[in-house]
A = this chain, B = another copy of it.
Amino acid sequence: MGPGPSDVHPRVLSAMSRPTIGHLDPAFVSMMDETKEGLQYIFKTENELTMPVSAPGSAGMETCFANLVEPGEKVVVCINGVFGMRMKENITRFGGEAIVVEDNWGEAVSADKLDEALTENPEASIVAFVHAETSTGALSDAKKLCTIARNHGCLTIVDAVTSLGGVELRVDEWEIDAVYSGSQKCLSAMPGISPISFSDRAIKKLSSRKTHVTSWFLDLSLVMGYWGKGANRTYHHTAPVNTLYGLHESLVMIKEEGIENSWDRHQKNHIILRDGLEKMGINFLVKVEDRLPQLNTVIIPDGIDDVSSRSKLLNDYNLEIGAGLGAYAGKVWRIGLMGYASRNENIALCLLALSDVLGIQK
């Protein structure tokens, strides 16, 4: 119950242990098509370029920046936690100029500040922000931020690592141009693979690049030879076959549940956990309207030691919760209710274990 990897569903674990077949086997190619459809379903998009990058979420992030940012380009990046900072690092490494919009950690990205920054920098061409900040548990209004970006003629790159499957996300309706996520958060799957989706506007930008994408491994013009349309798949790199079995199974399961039902389940379980925590006198870091249901960041009560408490949870209850990061190290805990981990038994265990650790009489 940390900030991810979250509990992997037994069906996903079982799927991963199926015999490995070739990455160009017709049976595998069919499964790739189903995987693309499943990703389109959960992203709420019809983008043709919707596929999993063969590496963790950080590589999904890098795929977006490596392909869309050219040297000298101005990119507005909103930072309200660790992953906004990582976005900035990506921009500068690929030769872009990062214009930073800063908000306090634990707060949502400010739409007004973004609008101001874009007004002051009319030559900016891309806006990047994190939908759900895993480092703080804050949710930003992706729809509004994308509208502002579009009004200023910018493409958008959105980090949906922790949001996908856990809260509302509508790639087409919100006109997001490039989005990346992770498998190990609200999809109940193993870590190691990163779903992405690119709009036609983003693809147009790719095809008009003046420079080569630096990374051969993440160059979408090559990767799409393997993941693109039709049965004629060209070898690019060896796909992580078993990990893709796992992702496929998790997508089948979300389809069975219904993506909107998945969002609702995360919200409902968050309320149960929140009520229990508040009864123990534990307060949340993030204000109600910006709170992520799948990642509950709470303030460690006075007099309680962070490290020894988390060790006791792990050793006595086999329960992992997340530490605070940056200025919040030692001051907050991050309790994940993501994917398969977002269920009643986990909430009950967490509340009981915490009451023990905090020395609360039941």
Chain B contacts of A182 at CB under 8 A?
Answer: 238
Which residues of A in the span 1-23 have a Cβ within 8 Å of any Cβ on B? 2, 4-5, 7-8, 13-14, 16-23
A25 within 8 Å of B by Cβ?
yes
Give a binary string over A86-125; 1 marks a CB under 8 Å from any B CB, 0 the rest. 1001100110000000000000000000000000000000
- Chain B: minimal CB distance from A222 (Å): 9
State A89–B237 Cα separation when bound (angstroms). 14
Stretch at the interface among A36-44, A50-58, A288-296: A50-58
Q: How large is the interface on A (under 10, 10 to 19, 20 to 34, 35 or more residues)?
A: 35 or more
Q: Which B residues are CB-close (under 8 A) to A130?
A: none
Report B-chain residues with C-beta under 8 Å of the C-beta of A241: 5, 190-192
Segment of A199-207, A210-218, A264-272 in the binding face: A210-218
Contact B215 A54 (CB under 8 A): no
Q: State whether the Cβ of A62 lies closer than 8 Å to any Cβ in chain B.
A: yes
Whether, in the assembled complex, A355 has its beta carbon less than 8 Å from a beta carbon of chain B, the answer is no
Chain B residues whose CB sits within 8 angstroms of the CB of A14 once the complex forms: 17
Per a CB cutoff under 8 Å, which of B56, B57, B216, B314 touches A58? Answer: B216
- A240 CB to nearest B CB, Å: 3
Q: In whole angstroms, how far apart are the Cα atoms of A240 and B246 in the complex?
A: 12
Give the contacting residue for A242; candidates B7, B20, B190; CB below 8 A. Answer: B190
A238 B184 Cβ-Cβ under 8 A:
yes
B17 touches A5 (CB 8 A): no
- Which partner residue on chain B sits nearest A322 by CB separation? B22
CB of B62 within 8 A of CB of A216, answer yes
A192 nearest CB neighbor, chain B only:
B240
- Contacts of A239-263 to chain B: CB distance below 8 A: 239-243, 246
Interface residue? A177 (CB, 8 A):
no
Q: Does A59 contact B (CB under 8 A)?
A: yes
| Interchain residue pairs with CB less than 8 A apart (26) | A5-B20, A8-B20, A8-B242, A13-B16, A13-B19, A20-B190, A22-B320, A55-B56, A55-B217, A57-B237, A58-B217, A58-B236, A58-B238, A59-B59, A59-B217, A93-B212, A93-B214, A182-B238, A190-B240, A190-B241, A190-B243, A191-B239, A191-B242, A192-B192, A192-B239, A242-B246
Contact B19 A16 (CB under 8 A): no
| Chain B residues whose C-beta falls within 8 Å of the C-beta of A7 in the assembled complex | 19-20
Asked if B214 and A214 sit within 8 Å, CB to CB, the answer is yes
Beyond the given A26-B314, A59-B59, could you list 9 further A-B residue pairs with CB under 8 A, ordered by the A residue number?
A2-B22, A7-B19, A13-B20, A25-B320, A56-B240, A57-B237, A62-B215, A90-B216, A192-B241
